[in-house]
C-alpha cells in the first residue's frame, strides 16, 4: 500500500549523482499508487567517453527508489534523454524525449538533435522512439533544425488537441490531433526544459533560464507574462550551487499524503554546470500547495 508523506523526507535529494554519474531532466507520472520517475542518466566510462540514456526509477513512498533502469540504447549519435512529459493517447502512455548527439566529442548536442516520442501500455515496456515532425510533415529531417526538450500537453479547452513545446528559438510550439501530423505555430521567449500545467485560470509554464526555475503564465499558450524565478534552497545546497534547473511540476493534489504540487528538478554543484556537466547532478524535490510558496525537506 503506498504511503506518501512529504514531511518524512530527510533530504531534498532524491537520487544523488557522483564522479561518474549524473541524473538530470526529471519527468514523473503517478499511476495506481506508484510514482514513475524518468530522467536523463549520464555515465562517464573508464576511457572518459560520455553516454546519455533515458532511464527510470519507481517509488511508493518517495523515500526508497528502485535502481535506475535504462530504457534506450548505448549510442552517442542518439543519446536519447530529457523526458519531457507523459500523456495518454488511444489507451497508451506517450512519453516525449530528445536525442542529444555528441558522437564527435561535443560537450553539448550538435545540430542533429531532434524530438521524439515513445509509447507504452504499462509504463514499463516501451516502443522504439518515433521522430516528431513538429515543423510539419513535408519538412525534411535535415531541415528541421536543432531542437531539444519536448513537452506534450493537452489543450485546456479542447481535449482532442495536443501541443508540443520544444527548445528552438526560445520555445517553439506545434499542434496535432493524432501525435503524427503536426502544425507549427510559432515561438516565444523562454528557457529550456519547459513544463506546463493546465490550471483553472490558464496555463502555468516552468522553464530553465540561466539558473533557477522560471515561471510564466498565459491563457492561450502564445502570449506569456513572467511570474518570477525560483531558486528554492540553492544558497544552502552545495550540491546545487553550480546550477539549479529543469523543474518539472506534477499535480499530486489528489494523492493522499502528498496533496500538493510536487517539483522534481536537478542540481549541479558546487562547481558551475559548465565545469561538471556530465557528473554529480542530483535530482531534488520541492512542493507547493498553491504554486506560490514552495517548501522542501529541511527548509527553515
The tens digit of pLDDT for each residue in 171-187 reads 999 999 999 999 999 99
* Average pLDDT value for the chain: 97
Q: Given the C-alpha cell 499508487, which residue does it identify? A: 33
C-alpha cell at 131: 521522430
Question: Which of 125-129, 196-200, 272-276 bottoms out in mean pLDDT, i.e. has the lowest?
Answer: 272-276
**Full strand arrangement of the beta sheet holding 171-176:** 148-154, 162-167, 171-176, 183-188
pLDDT digits (tens, 9 = 90+) for 61-95: 999 999 999 999 999 999 999 999 999 999 999 99
Structure confidence at residue 274 (pLDDT):
86
- For the segment 3-13, the average pLDDT, to the nearest whole number, is 94
pLDDT band for position 241 (50/70/90)? very high
Taking 80 as the threshold, does the pLDDT of residue 2 lie above it? no
Structure confidence at residue 37 (pLDDT):
98
**What b/e sequence results for 26-51 when a residue is b if at least 16 CB atoms lie within 10 Å of its CB, and e otherwise?**
bbbbbeeeebbbbbbbbbbeeeeebb
- For the segment 3-14, the average pLDDT, to the nearest whole number, is 94
Taking 60 as the threshold, does the pLDDT of residue 280 lie above it? yes
Global pTM value: 0.97
Question: What separation in angstroms does the CA of 289 have from each of 150, 168, 228, 251?
Answer: 26, 32, 17, 10
Backbone phi, psi, residue 208, to 5°: -115, 100
Amino acid at each position: 500500500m503506498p504511503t506518501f508523506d512529504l514531511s518524512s523526507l530527510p533530504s531534498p535529494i532524491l537520487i544523488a549523482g557522483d564522479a561518474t554519474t549524473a541524473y538530470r531532466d526529471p519527468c514523473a507520472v503517478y499511476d495506481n499508487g506508484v510514482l514513475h520517475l524518468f530522467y536523463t542518466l549520464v555515465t562517464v566510462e573508464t576511457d572518459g567517453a560520455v553516454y546519455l540514456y533515458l532511464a527510470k526509477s519507481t517509488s511508493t513512498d518517495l523515500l526508497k527508489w528502485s535502481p535506475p533502469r535504462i530504457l534506450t540504447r548505448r549510442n552517442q549519435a542518439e543519446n536519447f534523454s530529457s523526458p519531457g512529459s507523459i500523456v495518454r493517447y488511444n489507451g497508451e502512455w506517450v512519453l516525449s524525449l530528445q536525442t542529444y548527439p555528441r558522437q564527435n566529442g561535443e560537450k553539448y548536442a550538435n545540430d542533429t538533435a531532434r524530438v521524439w516520442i515513445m509509447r507504452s501500455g504499462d509504463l514499463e515496456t516501451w516502443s522504439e522512439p518515433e521522430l516528431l515532425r513538429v515543423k510539419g510533415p513535408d519538412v525534411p529531417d535535415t531541415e528541421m533544425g536543432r531542437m531539444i526538450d519536448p513537452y506534450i500537453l493537452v489543450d485546456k479547452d479542447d481535449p482532442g488537441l495536443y501541443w508540443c513545446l520544444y527548445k528552438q528559438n526560445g520555445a517553439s510550439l506545434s499542434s496535432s490531433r493524432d501525435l503524427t501530423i503536426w502544425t507549427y505555430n510559432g515561438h516565444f521567449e523562454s528557457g529550456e526544459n519547459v513544463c506546463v500545467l493546465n490550471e483553472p485560470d490558464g496555463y502555468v509554464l516552468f522553464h530553465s533560464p540561466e539558473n533557477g526555475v522560471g515561471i510564466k503564465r498565459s491563457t492561450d499558450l502564445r502570449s506569456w507574462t513572467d511570474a518570477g524565478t525560483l531558486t528554492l534552497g540553492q544558497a544552502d545546497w552545495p550540491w546545487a550551487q553550480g546550477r539549479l534547473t529543469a523543474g518539472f511540476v506534477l499535480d499530486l493534489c489528489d494523492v493522499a499524503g502528498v496533496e500538493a504540487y510536487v517539483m522534481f528538478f536537478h542540481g549541479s554543484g558546487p562547481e558551475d554546470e559548465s565545469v561538471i556537466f556530465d557528473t554529480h547532478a542530483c535530482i531534488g524535490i520541492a512542493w507547493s500547495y498553491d504554486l506560490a510558496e514552495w517548501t522542501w525537506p529541511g527548509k527553515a
